[in-house]
Amino acid sequence: MLVSLTGSRRIWLAAAALLLCGCGIGNPSGEVSGKVLSGPSCPVERVGEECPPRAVSGAEVVALDGEAVRGSTLTDASGAFHLTLPEGRYVIRATNVGGYASTASEQVVISDAPVSVTLIVDSGIR
Q: What is the CATH number of the domain that holds 36?
A: 2.60.40.10
The verdict on residue 19 lying in a domain is: no
Query: Taking the CA of residue 14 as centre, how many other CA atoms within 13 Å lie in the half-sphere pointing to its CB?
Result: 7
The verdict on residue 5 lying in a domain is: no
> What is the arithmetic mean of pLDDT over 93-107?
91
What is the pTM for the complete model shown?
0.74
The verdict on residue 90 lying in a domain is: yes
Quickly list DSSP for 25-36. TT--EEEEEEEE
What is the helix (H) or strand (E) element at residue 18, kind and residue range? helix 7-21
Provide the residue range defining the domain that includes 62: 28-43+52-122
pLDDT averaged over every residue in the chain: 84
The verdict on residue 14 lying in a domain is: no
Say yes or no to pLDDT of 114 above 80. Answer: yes
The verdict on residue 107 lying in a domain is: yes
Say yes or no to pLDDT of 44 above 90. Answer: no
**How many domains does the chain contain in total?**
1
Q: What angle do CA 75, 80, 84 make, to 5 degrees?
A: 85
pLDDT for 66 equals 95
The verdict on residue 84 lying in a domain is: yes
> What is the arithmetic mean of pLDDT over 9-22?
47
- Tell whether omega for the bond before 43 is within 30 degrees of 0, i.e. cis: no
> What is the arithmetic mean of pLDDT over 62-82?
97
* Residues ≥6 apart with Cβ < 8 Å to 16: none
pLDDT for 9 equals 55
Cβ atoms of 85 and 62 closer than 8 Å: no
The verdict on residue 108 lying in a domain is: yes
Say yes or no to pLDDT of 25 above 60. Answer: no
